[in-house]
Structure 1
Amino acid sequence: MALIANLLVALTALAHLGFLVLEMFLWTKPQGRKVFRMTPEKAETTRVLAANQGLYNGFLAAGLVWSLTHPQPEFAVQLKLFFLVCVVIAAIYGALTVKPRILLVQGGPAIAALLFLFLAS
């Protein structure tokens, strides 16, 4: 169970690194506009906001990676819980304010990781 939990934590971290790249570097590029279904004008006017959002996703990814690499197992679990709950809260907020699908895309791996983390304890 712990191995599955760690794999899901890693998947969640990778997803947030991907969100960072999309929001900070590809937002105004054809790939970013396609993913978020935006016109060039809309992408340009929201560029700074998206970069800020991407930075926060990077912090979540960094925290999740930290939780996977911390040498003290008890503290590593606390880090995992904290950062996974942060991801789930962000996903719930995104689902309520932007698009319901965010709960599945952003929150799904984190919710699964939390489930397996609890099963492993």
Structure 2
Amino acid sequence: MAIAAMIMAILVAAEHLFILWLEMFNADSEMASRAFGVPRRLLQMPEVKTLFGNQGLYNGFLAVGILFSLFVVPAAASTGVTLFFLACVMVAAVYGSATASKSIIVVQGLPALIAFILVYLA
């Protein structure tokens, strides 16, 4: 796989590991409040923290899937598995943009799209 494609895919995974950390372990912070456009008092509710923790876990699975595809999956299947997980990120970004915040399509979807194209062309 070309170096640029691999670097971009790793950056997408890193972004989703950051989201995992923010949603699972720092959901009631001022940073999370700004990032998600949600009042901090709402983020401090146990039910909301649980929901954010669940979302964070899913973001972590996407990140691990991308990293797994790059570093564990045999070379013959690596490209296909990487494309699958990047496509999952793009679908999640489209859904999130339609239901939660329009910025998700740019913040999460665009890097995944760029990585997808680079991996596909590599």
TM-score, length of structure 1 as denominator length:
0.92
Shift of 1:71: 5.2
Indicate whether 1:84 and 2:89 are aligned. Answer: no
Using the TM superposition, name which of 39-48 and 104-113 deviates more.
39-48
Indicate whether 1:33 and 2:33 are aligned. Answer: yes
What secondary structure, in the 3-state scheme, does the structure 2 residue paired with 1:33 have?
A: helix
- What pairs up with 1:1-121 in 2 under 5 angstroms? 2-45=2-45, 46-70=48-72, 72-120=74-122
What secondary structure, in the 3-state scheme, does the structure 1 residue paired with 2:38 have?
A: coil
In structure 2, what residue type is equivalent to 1:78? G
In structure 2, what residue type is equivalent to 1:81? L
TM-score, length of structure 2 as denominator length:
0.91
Instruction: Kindly indicate whether the alpha-carbon contact (under 8 Å) linking 2:79 and 2:120 is maintained by their aligned counterparts in 1.
Output: no
Distance change in 2, residues 1:38/1:100 (3 Å): closer
**Percent identical:** 39
| Uncovered stretches (5+) of structure 2, i.e. residues with no partner | none
